[in-house]
Amino acid sequence: MSEVMDRLTSFITRTQFNDLPEDVIHETKRVLLDSIGCALPGHAVERGKIAIGFAKKLGGSSGTTRSTIIGTKDKVCPANAAFADGELINTLDFDALSRAGLHDTPTVISAPLTQAEAVGASGKDLILATALAFEISGRIKLAAPGGYAASPEQGGKILFPEVGGNSPATLGGAAGAGKLLKLNQGKMGFAIAIAGYICPPNTLEQVGHSVRPVRMTKYTPPGWGAHTAVSSAMLADMGYTGDTSLFDGDFGFWRYTGALKGQWNTEKVVDGLGKSWFVQINYKQYPAGLCIAGALDKFIQIIGENDIRPEEIEHVTLQPHPRVQFHGEAKLVTHDDYSFNPVYLLTCAAHRLAPTDWHEEHVRQDVKIQKYMRWLTPKVSIAPWDEIEKDFALAKLEDPRTYQQRCEVVAKGKTFRGVARHPKGGWWAEDLRNTDEELVKKFVGNASKVLSSDKVNKAAQTIMQLEKLGNTAELLNILAP
């Protein structure tokens, strides 16, 4: 076992619930609440239905080690439940992102959740395993910086990564599942190593440049990441071995997941372990890409503060993230097309619809909504890409943590402008972080589409007091209709 893997696995296996800082415990409960809430309305969407059906078809429902698919009474083996849960959480694109900028939450949440129920773990055990899963995922991701950095030498240019994605989430999920299986240090190293060899590839960048319609795979199917994570931990528990020099050498994990030579810093995987934690979450306010969230924040603020009615809008210019292509006039074919269509998102916002209703079938097919979209389409434009990139880059030179976006609305004979340095719900801007009350409200809006009001309230209370829960299975029972 390499030195880095030795230090990493030693930390995972020796850390106990009482070692977690209070803010880490609290944030872990918040992201569990948000993620489970996002999974529940996924049942009504084709991708969610397929995920549940596929998990059941794979089987594994015999024996005592079974896990419940979120929002059902169906029990399957933990890996198959993790697949379904991971897909459900991500189906509406309403799920949170981690500090590392990863779409890792569906994988990192699902692997420990399903394993916790299978072994009869307590709420404290689940919190600990989930916090560790986020920790490992985030550290591995940031050891190979692939973010959207600005180039001081080129002024208004962004240094885009050639490859990006969520592969580290699978390794984090394996660590979390392994913690619940009580793997010793040697087997924990094997679990992470196995996950590193069979994790999904980093395909995030392809989505930003691919044509519509948006397919269900999107930036990587998180269900497979979660399935792989649980499988890796179970295999290690049974004695299957893996390459624990995974992070070392010229052909290590960094290379086959897309980092450039010279970028990977192995020491970042273990630097400050137990002192600084990575459970720092960016919560989404809308079932849409974070790449347009800041612009939507400002659009909603502008029309609200100035009492602009939908029919009074003359023109909207959006300045989203510079890496993503938006197809405002493209035909909406798949469910995911709506998440990336600025006209549809603006239409929902202009009509003051609750974001938890944006992906309801009756909303998407509403004659009034469809008519308004046709009327609004020629009135919406995306700022020139060179301007977007320059503005984004200059903001990052000033503060590398920014995710700057803009929105301009022409209405009532006036022009209104707004600049979002960070999207609401993001971690880095303290004044924009979601309160517990806001996250509970989002959870209620999502969960009420599947559960009774009594169950919704009981589920929210149980998750926010998760450390008091004796057996995780109790929570899954509450979440079943």
Using 50, 70 and 90 to split pLDDT, how confident is the model at 336? confident
Asked if 140 and 249 sit in the same domain, the reply is yes
Q: What is the pLDDT of residues 345-400, one digit of tens each?
A: 999 999 999 999 999 999 999 999 999 999 999 999 999 888 888 888 888 888 88
Compute the distance between CA of residue 35 and CA of residue 110 in angstroms, rounded to an integer. 9
| pLDDT at residue 271, as a whole number | 92
Mean pLDDT of 188-214: 82
Report whether pLDDT(115) > 90.
yes
Report the range of poorest mean pLDDT among 146-150, 166-170, 368-372.
146-150
| pLDDT at residue 395, as a whole number | 86
Report the range of poorest mean pLDDT among 91-95, 114-118, 336-340.
336-340
Asked if 182 and 118 sit in the same domain, the reply is yes
> Token pair of 6, please?
């030795």
Asked if 174 and 37 sit in the same domain, the reply is yes
> 64-78, 230-244, 263-277, 420-434 — which one is most confidently predicted on average?
230-244
Angle, alpha carbons 66-70-72 (nearest 5°) = 80
Mean pLDDT of 79-103: 91
Report whether pLDDT(155) > 60.
no
Question: Where does 386-453 show beta strands of DSSP type E?
Answer: 405-411, 414-420
| pLDDT at residue 154, as a whole number | 57
| pLDDT at residue 399, as a whole number | 85
Asked if 370 and 441 sit in the same domain, the reply is no
Asked if 202 and 307 sit in the same domain, the reply is no
| pLDDT at residue 360, as a whole number | 92
Tell me which residue range forms the domain holding 244: 3-283+434-478
Asked if 419 and 455 sit in the same domain, the reply is no
> Tell me, what CATH number does 229's domain have?
1.10.4100.10
Q: What is the pLDDT of residues 454-467, one digit of tens each?
A: 999 999 999 999 99
Asked if 106 and 76 sit in the same domain, the reply is yes
CB 299 within 8 A of CB 418: yes
Report whether pLDDT(95) > 80.
yes
Beta strand pairing call for 380-382 and 313-319: parallel
Alpha-carbon distances, residue 326 vs 27, 91, 212, 384, 389 (angstroms): 32, 19, 9, 12, 15
| pLDDT at residue 468, as a whole number | 98
* H/E element, 440: helix 436-447
Report whether pLDDT(260) > 70.
no
Determine what percent of the chain is predicted with pLDDT higher than 70: 90
Mean pLDDT of 292-314: 97
What are the backbone dihedrals phi and psi of residue 198, each rounded to the nearest 5 degrees, phi first?
Answer: -120, 10
Compute the distance between CA of residue 317 and CA of residue 407 in angstroms, rounded to an integer. 6
Task: Work out how many domains the chain is built from and give that number.
Answer: 2
Asked if 169 and 205 sit in the same domain, the reply is yes
Report whether pLDDT(168) > 70.
yes
Report whether pLDDT(153) > 60.
no
Mean pLDDT of 218-247: 94
Asked if 300 and 268 sit in the same domain, the reply is no
Q: What is the pLDDT of residues 44-73, one digit of tens each?
A: 999 999 999 999 998 775 566 689 999 999
* Residue 78, preceding peptide bond in cis (omega within 30° of 0): no
Residue 249 Rama label (left phi>0; alpha psi -120 to 50; beta): left
pLDDT averaged over every residue in the chain: 90
| pLDDT at residue 448, as a whole number | 96
Asked if 32 and 163 sit in the same domain, the reply is yes
| pLDDT at residue 458, as a whole number | 98
Tell which residue, 430, 11, 2, has the closest CA to residue 245.
2
Tell which residue, 157, 170, 184, has the closest CA to residue 253.
170
Asked if 422 and 461 sit in the same domain, the reply is no
Mean pLDDT of 416-424: 95
